[in-house]
Structure 1
Amino acid sequence: MSTIAPSTNSSCLSGAFPVPLAEGFLCNPGFYCPNNTDAHPPEYCAPTTDCLLTRLQTVNNICPTPQGVYEPFVCPPGSFCAPGGQQLAPCPPGHFCPLGTAKPYACGATSICPAGSAREFVMDGFIFILVVDILLLGLFLEPVLRRAARGWARLLSAVSGKKLGSRDVEVGSERGDDGGGSGVSDAERSLRRFVASVGKCVGSGETGLAFGWEGLSLVLPTGKTILAAQSGFVGKGRMWAIMGGSGAGKSSFVNVLMGKTAHTTGTIYVNGEASQISRFKKLIGYVPQDDVLMAECTVRENIMHAASVRLPRAWTAAQRREHVDTLIACLGLAHVQHNLVGDALASAISGGQRKRVSIGLELAAAPMALFLDEPTSGLDASASLAIMGLLKQLSNLGVTVMCIIHQPRPEVLDFLDGLTLLHKGHQIYHGDMSGLMGHFSEMGFELSGKSNVADAVLDIISGHGIVPGTSAMPASALDSLLVSRWRPQALKIAADLSDREKHPAGHDLEALARSAASRGAPRLRQVYLCFIRSIKQQWIRKTSFLIEISVGAVAGLLIGLSLYQLKGMHFQGAYHAPFTILSSALNYTLVPQIGLLCSLAIGLAAAAPGVKTFGEEKQIYWREASSGHSRLAYYVGKVVATFPRLAISAMHFTTFYCVLATPWMPFWSMYLSNLLYFYCIYGLASIMSMLVRREDGPLMAMIVSLIIGVFGGYGPPLYLVKQWHLEWLWRLCPGIWLTEAYFDQHLAIMSHLYDLDLAASWTGYVRGRFAMDIGILLVIGTVYRVIAFGGLVFLNQAGRKR
């Protein structure tokens, strides 16, 4: 192995001649130099074969004994060598002493560190997660235990023959039907109370909005006409229907009128003045055809949230509760008000009840005008009449009601004041219900014998109606007839719109603007309401939360288990001069590798849950934002509600990793680093939820999280990236900052033993700026959220607007 001839006078075990390391006595911190003096300065001895093979390894690569009488020996793990290197002592209890310890490191108050410890088993995290998990388990089992207690109470009652009272078993309002025993008079009283409550909100006598439109049309960039130019007027306090066959343009007309879709030509009037209806969205309610509801909240919580956010801020909490109580009674939802709304797969209420809840969300805001898209769809005849009756009462109060209706029954038509009839994007009738039959009779269609005028009209415009004495009319001829016969009336309406007397204004626009400004909870209050609702959502979906923290814990456990045999020695550097020649095999890449593994594990654990933060309820956000909710308050409330989840998930991951890997990095420094990386992944997942479809969000978030994890400086190594002049690209990703924080903190306690500047130069990382690394992780995670918020506001405009 060695070409140096052995000497019987050599102080080296190999017999080779020693190499002096200093001219006099010298012992670097962390070394044991018992035989060195000024007369016998430290020496380097060529190692024996066995020692050389040991030093070439990257695990347990310290020779068990010095290779010469005067060769310094690095202080072994579990011991410390006091400054001067003349004393080797075992590590005292309550301290730990890794390789090359000059002064024992104190363990934490909860750490396990017996005498001779070479690493610290930190129990801080275990204590934290033990308390948290017990609390979560108790909350998780509480409903089960409560149901079991009620079951035992029923059993004991049956055995003893004692009849349970209302306090023993919950019955009555939870299961009964409010229409069963309340009677008609109670329903009427509830209706009157609700109408009075709305009147108090909007100001009876000055209630309502009048809408007009002149030459309103919508033409796509391709040249296809969706809505032909049309004009009309709906006065305040009118109950107006929009009807037509499938594809007639009913929804498009409402979208254009409300400002959801930009019109191509025309002018919209609000109370006689040219304006945009969207300007007064806080005063206007809109009920979509699909029931967009918060599945994890009860019927009452859904309606109460809308009332708390949208009612005038001057109202007290008691007034809001009374308003909501009355509304729930009017909608016939009292017996299910504490039931979860659920989704299409699992719901505790019927489809008709979901529709009533959807209407209740808008009525809770006491609007001055209300637009509804097929409010009676999914309802039985009785429920349809009840809803339309309530809407009619509101219109009598002065609230303008416009609704898209498909095949209404005759009793529903009796509630309507007027009708806009559309056919293939053209307006073929707009006026009072009383004039509908006469208009079609003038074209030769006989409607006097029809029991349902609406069905008869729809049959006619669909081509199923036949002019008496003639054969079936071709579709083109029918279309021409319907449009041409209405054109003179349309021109007359357009001319009348210029007459201000045709627009009885309840408020001028400035007064309306002031009224709108008084509506809605303050932004900070909305943040709180959205935060509380989001916390409840997470609790209802607690199973997914338990899975998330379990995945994080298992990931930390597996990574820690893979590093357990290293006994905390995750770095091996070159000793400070002049002892550099004594160094064993270097291990600069393990810490970057740990950073890569942890970033990938956190990405897998947090990406899918992060998508669910917004990806599953964008429709709810768009509905609420379009009705005047603060977009920023909604977003901030949702983001803040994820913080407890992040904190608990990061703690489980860090705890199980640290207890097995026992890194030199302080536990709370590692927890903070991991927490902020969780924060970044959640933010990145939020962006993905804005860019892709709901079902693709979790997969895309995981893929992107894995990609940015690779940009951590391990492979390709950061020093090579710098040679490519691409470090700026790596620095845009959070993985590089997490790994750099790991690198800095793992090496900090060994600055007395190793030349850390050499290690930093070789790897490319910058040491000594842990605070900056953490701060930039916070900044990146926040920037991700700002981008996600921009996507929430600006992407998918058609879906966002109501």
Structure 2
Amino acid sequence: MPQNCIAPRPEENGGGLAQGQADKSEMQDKAVLAFPIMANSQPGFQQTLYPITLKFEEIVYKVKIEQKGSCWGTWSSKEKRILNGITGMVCPGEILAMLGPSGSGKTTLLSALGGRLSGTFSGKITYNGLPFSGSIKRRTGFVAQDDILYPHLTVWETLFFTALLRLPSSLTRDEKADHVDRVITELGLTRCQNSMIGGPLFRGISGGEKKRVSIGQEMLINPSLLLLDEPTSGLDSTTAQRIVTTIKRLASGGRTVITTIHQPSSRLYHMFDKVVLLSEGSPIYYGPASSALEYFSSVGFSTSMTVNPADLLLDLANGITPDSQAENSEQEQKTVKEALVSAYEKNISTKLKAELCNSESHGNDYAKAGGNNFKPEQWCTSWWYQFSVLLQRGVRERRYESFNKLRIFQVVSVAFLGGLLWWHTPKSHIQDRVALLFFFSVFWGFYPLYNAVFTFPQEKRMLIKERSSGMYRLSSYFMARNIGDLPLELALPTAFVFIIYWMGGLKPDPTTFILSLLVVLYNVLVAQGLGLAFGAFLMNIKQATTLASVTTLVFLIAGGYYVQHIPPFIVWLKYLSYSYYCYKLLLGVQYSDDDYYECSKGVWCRVGDFPAVKSMGLNSLWIDVSVMALMLVGYRFIAYMALHRVKLK
């Protein structure tokens, strides 16, 4: 069994090492200097690495599973244990690998250790003898299994924007850029630093390079605790070895590293210091990686062949005995698993608990010395700084998406086609002119709505990842996302109105044109807000687009053009439609009650008496502006509050 590790204790000034730790001073010196934020030796320019000893004791996690009954379609709730009494300890400079078949609870345990497990669990997890806190969170790097990165940013841009948000404001922009360059060099990303990350629609960097970028994002903060979920998943053996070699080098600097891994090669396996082997949520081995085969031989599961230790461990976790000629039956597998769990309780569990008890005093000494008292503030940068960085990043990431050729062609072609259909409509054809104004309100009420619906569902994983790391406030992200979209989202409707307004022969007055343009842009902002609210509330693209389709259909019918005399019991629908208010404002800008048009040859009629105009009315336009203002603010407020409901774990 592994020896106890002593939690290193920094001096009161936070920079030195306790004199009583002379036996590990060399390793700890490495820990402090292994990955400095700045090469400059001036005080404050170096991020000190505080080594963390992580202990987890008797971790139990249960979830409720809904099951359909056999009769009358009844549903019952059943409790399932995902983690069943897992105990262990990881010291600075060590790599703990969690092995086990799919569904054995590896990722769940890793999430619990990183403070990211939703729901409640029993047991005790301590970091240098203290519970999880904001200071520990800022010292923890968490690399998810999937590489969640913006596809249109380059490797350098990805790491640079992360550095701007996660490194303290005491560092200048140039100093953060220098640190990014060092991380890129350390992770071997120099060759591809100016390449785009890439995504499903276009090729970017390789899978191994994406994984190193994800690790680099966490290494920027010089984490004391680094957690990685399946860092070699989907990679070839050579690339996987490079990733694990990088992780090993990072651990040797004094970091505490924990990783889940599905089926490592023998070369990778021997890089691990400790191993936890899980079978259906229960531990069946904890100890040095090099001693695993010896342990299983001692409990009656030896093999005569030379095998990859990881393969043997995974077979045992699945209930398959070594050297078996045929695959064990389900009953035999169950018997093997029960025997292994029993052997663990008898041979490992008791000794392990005793070791943890013996090491408690060291963690308490560290806590008393204030070793975990890092900066108390929740955010390392100001709200305005976060907003400005997120705004820059958003504009740079979406410059390809917002102004892609397809969107421009779509809007411009519709504008020209509409202009040709309404080509220089005579004043006497008031019905056609009114229809053109309604087309304005409909097209620019629905087009931005459908675009905005995708915004937050598509960014959900990125939002959860970054906010779980404490990168920024939700309010700064939300404001940057809204304001960053304005120039891009308002440019196309402006071009649209410029084209179709003059081709359609509407009132050729500059003031009227500008007011009409402003009404359309106002409508765009309101529609966009509703789309954001739908997307944020449902966080599911299919459900959000379905709701948007129903809403647009209702707004279209109740917009005041197709049905002019809505029955009283359902007339309230039109007052919910922003298309109704936009259409009414466009009519009010274009006409007044005292305007006349030639209703038949030689006969002039008041515009206010025209049925389509009369049903809408041309008065009280400021009330309509105010109602749309309430919608503009209200929809976005709903979207913001809905984002607060998104679980970060």
TM-score grouping bracket, smaller chain normalisation: 0.7 to 0.9
TM superposition shift of 1:777: 2.5
**Is 1:618 paired with 2:484?**
no
Aligned pairs for 1:576-591 within 5 A: 591=434
Alignment CA distance shift 1:749-1:716 (3 Å): closer
Mapped contact 1:257–1:268 kept (Cα < 8 A): no
3-state DSSP class of the match of 1:503? helix
Q: Select 2:335's aligned residue among 477, 480, 491.
A: 477
Mapped contact 2:62–2:79 kept (Cα < 8 A): no
Partners of 1:316 and 1:654 lie apart in 2 by: 44
Mapped contact 2:284–2:317 kept (Cα < 8 A): no
**Is 1:452 paired with 2:294?**
no
TM superposition shift of 1:675: 0.6
- Which shows bigger deviation, 511-520 or 205-214? 511-520
Mapped contact 2:47–2:222 kept (Cα < 8 A): no
Partners of 2:60 and 2:45 lie apart in 1 by: 32
The answer for the alignment partner of 2:199 in structure 1 is 343
TM superposition shift of 1:491: 5.2
Mapped contact 1:284–1:367 kept (Cα < 8 A): yes
Partners of 1:318 and 1:520 lie apart in 2 by: 17
**Is 1:490 paired with 2:349?**
yes
- Cα deviations across residues 460-479 of structure 1 (Å, max 9, x unaligned)? 22344338999968111111
Aligned pairs for 1:561-576 within 5 A: 561-564=420-423, 566-568=425-427
Mapped contact 2:595–2:608 kept (Cα < 8 A): no
- Cα deviations across residues 212-246 of structure 1 (Å, max 9, x unaligned)? 24342223253122222333333344321111122
Aligned pairs for 1:453-468 within 5 A: 453-466=309-322
The answer for the alignment partner of 2:633 in structure 1 is 782
3-state DSSP class of the match of 2:562? coil
3-state DSSP class of the match of 2:259? strand
TM superposition shift of 1:298: 0.7
The answer for the alignment partner of 1:713 in structure 2 is 560
Aligned pairs for 1:144-293 within 5 A: 195-197=35-37, 203-204=47-48, 206-208=50-52, 210-221=54-65, 222-271=78-127, 273=129, 275-276=131-132, 280-293=136-149
Partners of 1:192 and 1:350 lie apart in 2 by: 32
Partners of 2:571 and 2:350 lie apart in 1 by: 67
Aligned pairs for 1:81-100 within 5 A: none
Mapped contact 1:603–1:706 kept (Cα < 8 A): no
Mapped contact 2:36–2:47 kept (Cα < 8 A): no
The answer for the alignment partner of 1:311 in structure 2 is 167
Q: Select 1:530's aligned residue among 364, 375, 390.
A: 390
TM superposition shift of 1:375: 1.3
Partners of 2:327 and 2:202 lie apart in 1 by: 52
Structure 1: state its 5+ residue gaps.
1-190, 572-586
Q: Select 1:742's aligned residue among 581, 586, 604.
A: 586
**Is 1:332 paired with 2:207?**
no
Partners of 1:244 and 1:505 lie apart in 2 by: 35
TM superposition shift of 1:297: 0.6
- Which shows bigger deviation, 776-785 or 354-363? 776-785
Structure 2: state its 5+ residue gaps.
1-30, 66-77, 598-604
3-state DSSP class of the match of 2:185? helix
Aligned pairs for 1:301-700 within 5 A: 301-446=157-302, 450=306, 452-466=308-322, 474-488=332-346, 489-490=348-349, 493-494=352-353, 500-501=360-361, 503=363, 512=372, 514-515=374-375, 517=377, 520-541=380-401, 544=404, 546-564=405-423, 566-568=425-427, 591=434, 593-630=435-472, 631-664=474-507, 666-690=512-536, 691=538, 693-694=540-541
TM superposition shift of 1:632: 2.5
Name the Cα RMSD after superposition.
Answer: 3.7
Alignment CA distance shift 1:761-1:557 (3 Å): closer
The answer for the alignment partner of 1:185 in structure 2 is none
- Cα deviations across residues 663-708 of structure 1 (Å, max 9, x unaligned)? 3481111111111211122223334444364467667645533432
3-state DSSP class of the match of 1:408? coil
The answer for the alignment partner of 1:92 in structure 2 is none
3-state DSSP class of the match of 2:111? helix
Which amino acid in structure 1 is aligned with residue 56 of structure 2?
G
Alignment CA distance shift 1:627-1:568 (3 Å): farther
Which protein shows a greater Rg? 1
Q: Select 1:724's aligned residue among 569, 588, 602.
A: 569
Mapped contact 1:194–1:323 kept (Cα < 8 A): no
TM superposition shift of 1:276: 3.8
Count of paired positions: 587
Partners of 1:749 and 1:331 lie apart in 2 by: 71
Alignment CA distance shift 1:480-1:298 (3 Å): same
Partners of 2:323 and 2:282 lie apart in 1 by: 21
Which amino acid in structure 1 is aligned with residue 491 of structure 2?
I
The answer for the alignment partner of 2:23 in structure 1 is none
Partners of 2:582 and 2:619 lie apart in 1 by: 14
TM superposition shift of 1:415: 3.3
Alignment CA distance shift 1:518-1:682 (3 Å): closer
TM superposition shift of 1:391: 2.4
TM superposition shift of 1:249: 1.5
TM-score (norm. length: structure 1): 0.65
Alignment CA distance shift 1:277-1:684 (3 Å): same
Alignment CA distance shift 1:726-1:720 (3 Å): closer
Alignment CA distance shift 1:370-1:206 (3 Å): closer
3-state DSSP class of the match of 1:340? coil
Percentage identity across aligned positions?
Answer: 24
Partners of 1:504 and 1:384 lie apart in 2 by: 38
Partners of 2:163 and 2:367 lie apart in 1 by: 23
Partners of 2:213 and 2:144 lie apart in 1 by: 12
Partners of 1:492 and 1:418 lie apart in 2 by: 16
Alignment CA distance shift 1:353-1:218 (3 Å): same
TM superposition shift of 1:449: 6.7
Which amino acid in structure 2 is aligned with residue 553 of structure 1?
V
- Which shows bigger deviation, 746-755 or 395-404? 746-755
Mapped contact 2:315–2:321 kept (Cα < 8 A): yes
3-state DSSP class of the match of 1:403? strand
TM-score (norm. length: structure 2): 0.79
- Cα deviations across residues 22-59 of structure 1 (Å, max 9, x unaligned)? xxxxxxxxxxxxxxxxxxxxxxxxxxxxxxxxxxxxxx
Alignment CA distance shift 1:761-1:612 (3 Å): closer
- Cα deviations across residues 246-293 of structure 1 (Å, max 9, x unaligned)? 221211222333343335541333325563467743322211112211
Which amino acid in structure 1 is aligned with residue 479 of structure 2?
V
